[in-house]
């Protein structure tokens, strides 16, 4: 009988809990209603979401369905940056479908798809998969950085991939962009943004805000669907300065995009191979050793002796100092020391057209400690060094600062194949390395003179562009705030 007075208290607690539930429900009702309305209206965003650092305005979709709906192919308006590629719709039952996403190294520049490593990889895979038919789709876009590549990764998940390969790291500094408050965001805020991006209401409000900023011409941290690099402009080299390249923010953004791509693949249970691309260490002078450097500048370190370099410690922040110090060490037979200096020259370059050590570390440690068995990483720089004279990569493997020779593209395909075999993602045929020899040769023999002539012309153009001497450069806009939308 003494416990009876507690019954009203229990009822009061139930009422309080019920009231809280109703209050919370009413608080969320506008969100739920908005979500429902946007769903009924079939509203879709413009693929800008999930990147708190910058906004990509416009349609980022790469593929479109053919008129007869029998295949997907790269859209015509994207062929300025990509080469034609297609795959069947629906997916054949025996097809082993691979998407290779990245920049011009993936595309095969200065050549074309026919001699790019994705094409050689398709031959290697078919030599190891007797019960499947490998289809490797080349999604390499010229000057495409990780923040653009991540949208392609998201898209291709819709096309039933069996394997995703991402090769990125060289193009992170190319586009002239700035980071506003987002560069100081904590990881927790980035995580919250990624979570909220799952809701149409949040994406709708964010996209509306970005469009308002575009209307107000405040678009310095938003980019259009077409890539426009700093070097595409007259005096493009001048756009690269110690301050403007903002290495720390670029590294944070790169880390975000690598993590995002891994999450997309893991969520779809698609194996993903992350590849750090190779750089020319010994045969590529830095593109901009210091802020005052112009296309007419000459380095004062070109003819210094090894003894002189060892006395010039005050110049250790100069990229050209490290490059020519490396040359002197190489001539002296101190190969390990030389490689370290060449790598420092890449890191100190104010026009960073080669993946620096910070970005390389971010990519290679993306799965450390291992998170899922379907994530793997591969460093092509180490692979190239292992087969290069004195373990230093140069023009024997790369025709310019980053683009592999045709033989090196073939080697990349074989390296990837062996890596997939070690990861137990594909089986191994005992004779596959012999079987591919004739297949490789048949491809080379099928190419005409024009194919190699176009590549030669393209290579000369790339070399001039990389040194700030673009052919038919863009004029500097009067209003710099409109630059990214030109």
**Confidence band for 483, pLDDT divided at 50, 70 and 90:** very low
Shared domain for 122 and 164, answered yes or no, is yes
Strands 55-56 vs 222-223: parallel, antiparallel or unpaired: parallel
Helix (H) or strand (E) holding 223, with range, is strand 222-223
CA distances (Å), origin 397, targets 157, 385, 389, 414: 33, 10, 10, 15
Asked if 70 and 197 sit in the same domain, the reply is: yes
- CB-neighbour burial class of residue 348 (10 A; exposed 0-12, middle 13-18, buried 19+): buried
Q: Does 299 fall in a domain?
A: no
- Are both 277 and 320 inside the same structural domain? no
Identify whether the C-beta of residue 379 lies closer than 8 Å to the C-beta of residue 360. Answer: yes
Strand pairing category for 71-74 and 63-65 = antiparallel
Q: How many domains does the chain have?
A: 2
234 and 138 together in one domain:
yes
Q: Are residues 321 and 383 in the same domain?
A: no
172/69 same-domain check: yes
Which of 26-35, 172-181, 283-292 is predicted most confidently?
283-292
Task: Give CA 232 to chain center in angstroms.
Answer: 19
DSSP H helical ranges for 41-93: none
3-state secondary structure at position 383:
helix
Is there a single domain that holds both residue 344 and residue 362? no
- Tell me, what CATH number does 193's domain have? 3.40.50.1110
- Print the domain residue range for 312: 306-348
Residue 333 and residue 360 in one domain = no
pLDDT higher than threshold 80 for residue 12: no
Residue spans of alpha helices (H) in 377-448 = 380-386, 406-422, 432-445
Q: How far is CA 243 from CA 94, 373, 417, in A?
A: 52, 40, 41
Take residue 213 and report the two structure tokens written for it.
């900023």
pLDDT for 79: 96
Is 145 in contact with 106 (CB distance < 8 Å)?
A: no
pLDDT value for 187: 54
The verdict on residue 314 lying in a domain is yes
For the cut 90, the answer to whether the pLDDT of residue 277 exceeds it is yes
In a domain, 238, yes or no: yes
Mean pLDDT along residues 471-478: 83
- Residue 144: inside a domain: yes
This prediction's pTM = 0.83
Cβ atoms 306, 312 nearer than 8 A: no
pLDDT of residue 212: 54
> How would you label 446-461 residue by residue, b for 16+ Cβ within 10 Å and e otherwise?
eeeeeeeeebeebbee
Q: Which residue among 348, 375, 401 closes a domain?
A: 348
406 in the same domain as 458: yes
Q: Which of 282, 10, 272, 11 is nearest to 157 (CA)?
A: 272
Supply the angle between the helices 357-364 and 247-267 in degrees, to the nearest 10.
Answer: 20
443 and 311 share one domain = no
Write down which residue in 348, 373, 400 finishes a domain: 348
Based on the fold, state whether residues 258 and 338 are members of the same structural domain. no
Structural domain includes residue 1: no
Query: Would you say residue 334 has pLDDT above 80?
Result: yes
Is 185 inside any structural domain? yes
**18 falls within a domain:** no
Specify whether 117 is located in the same domain as 192. yes
Terminal-residue alpha carbon distance, the chain: 83
Q: What is the pLDDT of residues 345-376, one digit of tens each?
A: 999 999 999 999 999 999 999 987 766 678 99
Is position 46 within any domain? no
Question: What are residue 353's phi and psi, to 5 degrees?
Answer: -95, 0
E strand residue ranges, 89-215: 95-102, 133-140, 163-167
pLDDT, tens only, 46-60: 443 457 777 777 788
Residue ending a domain, among 296, 329, 348, is 348
């Amino acid at each position: 009988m003494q416990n009876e007075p507690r019954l009203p208290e229990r009822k009061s607690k139930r009422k309080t809990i019920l009231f809280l539930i109703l209050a919370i429900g009413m608080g969320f009702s506008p969100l739920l209603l908005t979500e429902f309305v946007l769903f009924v209206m079939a509203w879709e965003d413009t693929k800008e979401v999930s990147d708190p650092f910058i906004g990509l305005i416009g349609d980022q979709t790469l593929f479109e369905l053919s008129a007869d709906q029998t295949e997907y192919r790269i859209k015509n308006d994207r062929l300025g940056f990509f080469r034609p590629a297609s795959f069947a719709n629906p997916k054949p039952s025996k097809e082993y479908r691979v998407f290779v996403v990245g920049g011009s190294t993936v595309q095969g520049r200065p050549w074309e798809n026919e001699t790019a490593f994705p094409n050689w990889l398709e031959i290697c895979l078919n030599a190891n998969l007797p019960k499947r038919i490998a289809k490797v789709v080349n999604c390499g876009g010229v000057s495409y950085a990780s923040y653009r590549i991540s949208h392609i990764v998201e898209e291709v998940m819709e096309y039933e991939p069996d394997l995703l390969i991402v090769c990125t790291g060289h193009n992170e500094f190319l586009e002239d962009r700035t980071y506003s408050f987002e560069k100081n965001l904590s990881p927790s805020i980035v995580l919250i943004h990624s979570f909220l991006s799952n809701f149409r209401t949040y994406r709708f409000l964010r996209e509306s805000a970005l469009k308002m900023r575009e209307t107000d011409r405040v678009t310095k941290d938003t980019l259009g669907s077409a890539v426009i690099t700093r070097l595409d402009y007259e005096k493009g080299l001048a756009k690269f300065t110690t301050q403007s390249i903002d290495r720390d923010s670029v590294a944070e953004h790169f880390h975000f995009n690598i993590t995002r791509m891994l999450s997309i693949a893991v969520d779809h249970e698609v194996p993903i191979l992350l590849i750090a691309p190779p750089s020319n260490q010994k045969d590529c002078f830095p593109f901009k050793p210091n802020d005052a450097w112009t296309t007419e500048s000459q380095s004062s370190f070109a003819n210094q002796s090894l003894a002189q370099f060892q006395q010039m410690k005050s110049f250790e922040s100069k990229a050209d100092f490290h490059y020519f110090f490396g040359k002197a060490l190489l001539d002296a037979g101190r190969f390990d020391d030389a490689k370290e200096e060449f790598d420092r020259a890449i890191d100190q370059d104010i026009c960073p057209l080669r993946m620096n050590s910070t970005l390389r570390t971010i990519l290679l440690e993306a799965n450390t400690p291992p998170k899922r068995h379907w994530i793997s990483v591969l460093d092509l720089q180490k692979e190239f060094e292992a087969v290069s004279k004195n373990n230093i990569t140069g023009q024997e493997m790369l025709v310019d600062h980053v683009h592999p020779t045709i033989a090196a593209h073939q080697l990349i395909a074989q390296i990837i194949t062996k890596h997939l075999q070690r990861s137990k993602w594909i089986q191994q045929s005992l004779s596959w390395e012999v079987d591919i020899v004739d297949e490789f040769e048949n491809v080379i023999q099928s190419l005409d003179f024009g194919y190699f002539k176009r590549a030669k012309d393209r290579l000369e153009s790339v070399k001039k562009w990389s040194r700030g001497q673009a052919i038919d450069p863009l004029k500097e806009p009067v209003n710099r705030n409109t630059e990214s939308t030109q």
